[in-house]
């Protein structure tokens, strides 16, 4: 490229173009203002969010749907502090994110200047890595490094903080050089000895379980996992972050295990003699009390992050590597092995028959979320990208929605960030304008970031959002019912304030409402027919409904509460 | 619990100390000593971290995730040369002066400043040597003291 004089701000925008970034999400402000000027002329699309947390989640949704990096831009001080939640969220769920923040001028740093916050310090524990850039000439190299760190190894958020005078400093474009990070060399290829040890355990196993999570999605290893499972008849449990990594339609798929997992998935782990854990981190929502977790099982634990191995559970065979390479290695070495698992598959199949997920939808009774989900799925022919908030509705979706493909299930798993659904769905829809993007949210969650519906309308991002309106913080209410003697302290919202239909209309979207079983099909068909505007459906549901199965926090996965009746024995 | 010594080679970048110490405290680990200084290689610093932790494997793994951390070696106590520096300011008067100086000499402490009513000693040695010297000086009245943090090298790899 040519050597004309460019400001730091122009170098930022040129670097984004150079790094093939096509869409960014953000909110302008004083310190970042210089960068917004060249952005005005750039082919990079900027989506103007209404709040920086929303912008961050949009970038996350974009990244979760595409598997590519999401980019968010914010100003100094409150702009950066508002971003922190999305950074922490991306760190927990290993989502590749690049955050660019403005900072007060280098001459003012440390003086408590207007809109100054110590962004590098504040974001240190919420990012994989971060930078404070002090010279304009460093910008292209730092942004290249930031993208590299965010997208390789275990992906995560990287923040680049750039002071205003650095954005204004005149420098020249120098094409970034090769990456030289002596302290960062992720191991992708697994050690063949470990693969061999793993294969020996697999061959001896009579009750293997393939326990897969987000790492499979990040590594795009779903095809290989499918082969490993179906070729050797190994049943698969998919964690919350791993949903879609193996098709629910396959009989070997057992679905989500853990606190609100289905009986078969949770129990099969408890009974298994070998856990083949790939791209998972033995999260407490999966294991409950780890002392009682899969006590009879040996563990093969493969992860790209060595720190995850042995963190919660010792592994008999630790494997550091990329999920795809690990699974390819396992399949190669297993060859034509036939596992002796017929009895095991029968046990599992009986469990599935004896303990299915259930719900009861009465014709004239209040709507149940699982029923509505199944009706929506029938109408969408498995084509949707589903985005969720956090709480009861999230658990019901993970339980009842049938995911067939990776990157079609976007949610906040690790951090449990309410308010994630709508902005993340905007990000996904910005990435895939021609695909159906469905935000399936709770009313409590929706109210945390609902202003982003304006972003969806004004930026022409016609997603659909269903607000499961039970007038409560449903999961909080559920815990208060079970553990706090029905004392509903601060969990009640109301069904009717705000009026979600009017709110949607005022924000430039179409608002619909459904509260009766007889209306369900009609209303959701209407929702699916409108494609020129965002559509919100206020779906009024039963506030008394609780999510089951349930394993109380810190308990044993052997003691699963299957329905409200089991609460009497608690 | 036994003591574990980590020798951590890091890139000499702004904030690297904050990253290391924040990683340690964030995971709920404690450190009993941390020292940092330049190495013979330009752009590289070395930290010596002493912890009393069974979870040292997890500390190592978490620190290894930091981009600016290049290498972590846990030192074998049997093969490790370890030292620490101490500066100690003690009260003296006509009666105590002789015995203070005598004890300091016997401890191989060097007197670096002597005033009317105080003396400052410098001592380099193992942490135990330093502890011992501190104990010896205590009866005379320690006015102020500072220790430099432990540093260590392994004799063979």
pLDDT digit string (tens) for A114-135?
999 999 999 999 999 999 999 9
User: End of a domain among B75, B96, B119?
Assistant: B75
For A88-92, A150-154, A387-391, B95-99, which range has the lowest pLDDT when averaged over its residues? B95-99
B85 with B135, same domain: the answer is yes
What does the alpha-carbon distance between residue A135 and residue A117 come to, in Å, rounded to a whole number?
A: 20
User: Over 60: is that where the pLDDT of A451 sits?
Assistant: yes
Q: Which tokens in the block code for residue B83?
A: 């030292």
CATH node for A192-354: 3.40.50.1220
Q: What is the sign, positive or negative, of the torsion defined by CA atoms of A111, A116, A117, A123?
A: negative
> Given an 8 Å threshold on Cβ–Cβ distance, is A183 in contact with B70?
yes
- Counting the structural domains of chain B, the total is 2
User: Over 90: is that where the pLDDT of B3 sits?
Assistant: no
Return the pLDDT at B21.
92
Query: Fold match between A5-172 and A192-354?
Result: yes
pLDDT band at B77 (very low <50, low <70, confident <90, very high): confident
Give me chain A's average pLDDT, please: 97
Give the three-state DSSP class for A468: strand
User: Over 80: is that where the pLDDT of B52 sits?
Assistant: no
B28 with B69, same domain: the answer is yes
B107 with B128, same domain: the answer is yes
Average pLDDT, stretch A300-329? Answer: 97
Average pLDDT, stretch A352-368? Answer: 97
User: Using alpha carbons only, how large is chain A's radius of gyration in Å?
Assistant: 24
Neighbouring-strand partners of residue A468: A442, A539
Sequence-separated (6 or more) residues with CB below 8 Å from residue A2: A173
Best CA proximity match to B15, nearest among B67, B86, B53, B81: B67
Return the pLDDT at A355.
97
> Given an 8 Å threshold on Cβ–Cβ distance, is A310 in contact with B58?
yes
Q: Which tokens in the block code for residue A316?
A: 């008999």
* pLDDT tens column, A388-399: 999 999 999 999
What does the alpha-carbon distance between residue A126 and residue A143 come to, in Å, rounded to a whole number?
A: 18
Nearest-by-Cβ selection for A311 from B18, B58, B67: B58
Catalytic residue flag (residue A295): no
- In the sheet that holds B4-11, the strands lie side by side as B33-38, B44-51, B4-11, B69-75
What does the alpha-carbon distance between residue A83 and residue A154 come to, in Å, rounded to a whole number?
A: 21
Q: Which chain A residues have a beta carbon less than 8 Å from that of B57?
A: 310
For the stretch A9-13, contacts whose Cβ atoms lie closer than 8 Å and that sit 24 or more positions apart, written own/partner, are A9/A34, A9/A35, A9/A37, A9/A38, A9/A167, A9/A168, A10/A38, A11/A136, A11/A139, A11/A140, A11/A171, A11/A173, A12/A38, A12/A100, A12/A139, A12/A143, A12/A162, A12/A167, A13/A38, A13/A39, A13/A42, A13/A44
What does the alpha-carbon distance between residue A92 and residue A133 come to, in Å, rounded to a whole number?
A: 25
Chain B, nearest residue to A186 by Cα = B65
User: Using alpha carbons only, how large is chain B's radius of gyration in Å?
Assistant: 18
User: Over 70: is that where the pLDDT of A400 sits?
Assistant: yes
At the topology level, CATH places domain A5-172 in Rossmann fold (3.40.50)
> Given an 8 Å threshold on Cβ–Cβ distance, is B15 in contact with A311?
no
Measured CB to CB, residues of chain A less than 8 Å from chain B are 120-121, 124-125, 128-129, 132, 149, 181-184, 305-307, 310-311
Q: Which chain A residues have a beta carbon less than 8 Å from that of B11?
A: 182-183
B71 with B86, same domain: the answer is no
What does the alpha-carbon distance between residue A365 and residue A362 come to, in Å, rounded to a whole number?
A: 5
Q: What is the CATH number of the domain that holds B32?
A: 3.30.70.260
What does the alpha-carbon distance between residue A126 and residue A92 come to, in Å, rounded to a whole number?
A: 9
Q: Position of tokens 């995560």?
A: A156
- CB count in 10 Å sphere of residue B38: 11
Q: Which chain B residues have a beta carbon less than 8 Å from that of A183?
A: 10-11, 66-71
Provide the residue range defining the domain that includes B29. Answer: 4-75
User: Over 60: is that where the pLDDT of A301 sits?
Assistant: yes
Return the pLDDT at B121.
98
B88 with B150, same domain: the answer is yes
B44 with B99, same domain: the answer is no
CB B148 within 8 A of CB B86: yes
Identify the residue with better confidence: A91 or B156.
A91
DSSP notation for A227-240: HHHHHHT--EEE-G
**CA-based nearest distance B7→chain A, Å:** 15
B40 with B54, same domain: the answer is yes
Q: What is the CATH number of the domain that holds B140?
A: 3.30.70.1150
CB B103 within 8 A of CB B97: no
Best CA proximity match to A468, nearest among A530, A378, A400: A400
Catalytic residue flag (residue A164): yes
Sequence-separated (6 or more) residues with CB below 8 Å from residue A273: A205, A206, A207, A208, A296, A297, A298
B55 with B97, same domain: the answer is no
Average pLDDT, stretch A339-349? Answer: 98
Q: Which residues 114-143 of B have a C-beta within 8 angstroms of A?
A: none
Task: From the candidates A114, A189, A196, A311, give the one annotated as an active-site residue.
Answer: A114
pLDDT band at B58 (very low <50, low <70, confident <90, very high): confident
User: Over 90: is that where the pLDDT of B31 sits?
Assistant: no
Q: What percent of chain A has pLDDT over 90?
A: 98
User: Over 90: is that where the pLDDT of A410 sits?
Assistant: yes
Average pLDDT, stretch A51-72? Answer: 98
Best CA proximity match to A59, nearest among A49, A70, A50: A70
Give the three-state DSSP class for A461: coil
Catalytic residue flag (residue A114): yes
Average pLDDT, stretch A529-546? Answer: 97
Mutate to test the interface with B, among A307, A311, A315 (most CBs of B within 10 A): A307
Best CA proximity match to A183, nearest among B44, B60, B62, B69: B69
Return the pLDDT at B157.
59
Catalytic residue flag (residue A226): no
What does the alpha-carbon distance between residue B157 and residue A359 come to, in Å, rounded to a whole number?
A: 64
Domain boundaries, chain A: 5-172, 192-354, 369-548
Phi-psi region of A528 (alpha: psi -120 to 50; beta: other; left: phi over 0): alpha
**CA-based nearest distance A120→chain B, Å:** 9
B13 touching A (Cβ < 8 Å)? no
Q: Which CATH class is domain A369-548?
A: alpha beta
Phi-psi region of A48 (alpha: psi -120 to 50; beta: other; left: phi over 0): beta
ipTM score here? 0.90
> Given an 8 Å threshold on Cβ–Cβ distance, is B67 in contact with A311?
no
Give the three-state DSSP class for B132: helix
Return the pLDDT at B27.
81
Phi, psi of A132 (to 5 degrees): -115, 120
Average pLDDT, stretch A273-291? Answer: 97
In A82-114, which positions are buried (b, 16+ CB within 10 angstroms) versus exposed (e)?
Answer: bbbbbbbbbbbbbbbbbbbbbbbbbebbeeebe
**CA-based nearest distance A501→chain B, Å:** 44
Return the pLDDT at B1.
59
User: Over 60: is that where the pLDDT of A251 sits?
Assistant: yes
User: End of a domain among B25, B55, B75?
Assistant: B75
* pLDDT tens column, A454-512: 999 999 999 999 999 999 999 999 999 999 999 999 999 999 999 999 999 999 999 99
B70 with B88, same domain: the answer is no
Q: Position of tokens 């629910």?
A: A248
> Given an 8 Å threshold on Cβ–Cβ distance, is A124 in contact with B57?
no
User: End of a domain among B75, B107, B133?
Assistant: B75
In B127-145, which positions are buried (b, 16+ CB within 10 angstroms) versus exposed (e)?
Answer: bebbeebbebbeebeeeeb
Give me chain B's average pLDDT, please: 93
Task: From the candidates A475, A507, A527, A550, give the one annotated as an active-site residue.
Answer: A475
User: Over 60: is that where the pLDDT of A2 sits?
Assistant: no
Return the pLDDT at B84.
96
B47 with B97, same domain: the answer is no
Nearest-by-Cβ selection for B15 from A120, A149, A307: A120
Average pLDDT, stretch A39-56? Answer: 98
Return the pLDDT at A570.
77
Q: Which tokens in the block code for residue A187?
A: 């191991």
Nearest-by-Cβ selection for B18 from A124, A128, A181: A124
B51 with B70, same domain: the answer is yes
B69 with B99, same domain: the answer is no
Average pLDDT, stretch B75-95? Answer: 94
């Amino acid at each position: 490229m040519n050597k004309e004089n460019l400001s730091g701000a122009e170098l930022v925008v040129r670097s984004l173009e150079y790094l093939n970034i096509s869409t960014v999400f953000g909110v302008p402000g004083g310190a970042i203002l210089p960068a917004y000027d060249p952005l005005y002329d750039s082919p990079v699309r900027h989506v103007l969010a209404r709040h920086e947390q929303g912008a961050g989640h949009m970038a996350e949704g974009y990244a979760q749907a595409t598997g590519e990096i999401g980019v968010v831009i914010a100003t100094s001080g409150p702009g950066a502090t508002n971003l922190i939640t999305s950074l922490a969220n991306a760190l927990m769920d290993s989502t590749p994110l690049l955050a660019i923040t403005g900072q007060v001028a280098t001459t003012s740093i440390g003086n408590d200047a207007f809109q100054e916050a110590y962004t590098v310090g504040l974001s240190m524990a919420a990012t994989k890595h971060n930078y404070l850039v002090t010279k304009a000439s460093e910008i292209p190299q730092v942004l290249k490094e930031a993208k590299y760190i965010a997208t390789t190894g275990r992906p995560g958020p990287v923040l680049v903080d750039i002071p205003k005078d650095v954005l204004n400093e005149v420098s020249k474009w120098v094409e970034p050089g090769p990456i030289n990070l002596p302290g960062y060399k992720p191991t992708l290829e697994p050690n063949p000895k470990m693969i061999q040890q793993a294969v020996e355990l697999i061959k001896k196993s009579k009750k293997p379980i393939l326990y897969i999570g987000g790492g499979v999605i990040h590594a795009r290893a779903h095809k290989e996992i499918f082969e490993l499972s179906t070729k050797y008849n190994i049943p698969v449990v998919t964690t919350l972050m791993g949903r879609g990594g193996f098709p629910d339609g396959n009989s070997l798929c057992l679905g989500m295990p853990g606190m609100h997992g289905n009986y078969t998935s949770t129990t099969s782990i408890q009974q298994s003699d070998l856990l083949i854990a790939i791209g998972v981190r033995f999260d407490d929502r999966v294991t409950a009390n780890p002392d009682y977790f899969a006590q009879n099982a040996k563990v093969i634990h493969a992860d790209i992050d060595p720190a995850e191995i042995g963190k919660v559970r010792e592994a008999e065979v630790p494997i550091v590597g990329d999920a795809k390479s690990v699974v390819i290695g396992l399949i190669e070495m297993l060859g034509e092995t036939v596992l002796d698992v017929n009895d095991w598959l029968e046990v599992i199949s009986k469990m599935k028959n004896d303990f299915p997920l259930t719900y009861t939808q009465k014709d004239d009774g209040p709507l149940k979320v699982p029923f509505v989900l199944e009706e929506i799925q029938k109408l969408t022919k498995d084509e949707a990208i589903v985005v969720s908030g956090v709480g009861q509705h999230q658990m019901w979706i993970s339980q009842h929605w049938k995911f067939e493909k990776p990157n079609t299930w976007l949610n906040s798993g690790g951090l449990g960030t309410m308010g994630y659904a709508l902005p993340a769905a905007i990000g996904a829809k910005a990435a895939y304008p021609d695909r159906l993007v469905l935000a399936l949210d709770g009313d409590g969650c929706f109210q945390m970031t609902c202003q982003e519906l304006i972003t969806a309308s004004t930026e022409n991002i016609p997603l659909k959002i269903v607000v499961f309106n039970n007038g409560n913080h449903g999961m909080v209410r559920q815990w208060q019912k079970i553990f706090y003697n029905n004392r509903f302290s601060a969990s009640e919202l109301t069904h009717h304030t705000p009026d979600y239909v009017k709110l949607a209309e005022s924000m430039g979207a179409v608002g619909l409402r459904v509260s009766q079983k007889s209306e369900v099909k009609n209303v959701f068909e209407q929702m699916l027919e409108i494609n020129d505007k965002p559509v919100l459906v206020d779906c009024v549901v039963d506030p008394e409904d609780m999510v089951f199965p349930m394993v109380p926090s810190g308990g044993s996965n052997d003691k699963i509460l299957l329905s409200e009746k089991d609460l009497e024995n608690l | 619990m036994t003591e574990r010594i980590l020798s951590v080679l890091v890139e000499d970048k702004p904030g690297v100390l904050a990253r290391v110490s924040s990683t340690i405290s964030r995971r709920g680990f404690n450190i009993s000593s941390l020292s940092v200084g330049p190495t013979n290689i330009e752009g590289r610093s070395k930290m010596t971290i002493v912890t009393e932790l069974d979870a040292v494997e997890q500390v190592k793994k978490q620190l290894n995730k930091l981009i600016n951390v290049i290498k972590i070696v846990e030192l074998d106590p049997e093969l490790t040369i370890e030292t620490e520096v101490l500066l100690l300011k003690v009260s003296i008067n006509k009666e105590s002066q002789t015995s203070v100086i005598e004890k300091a000499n016997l401890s191989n402490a060097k007197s670096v400043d002597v005033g009317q009513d105080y003396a400052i000693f410098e001592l380099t040695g193992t942490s135990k040597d330093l502890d011992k010297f501190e104990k010896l000086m205590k009866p005379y009245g320690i006015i102020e003291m500072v220790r430099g943090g432990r540093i260590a090298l392994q004799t063979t790899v």
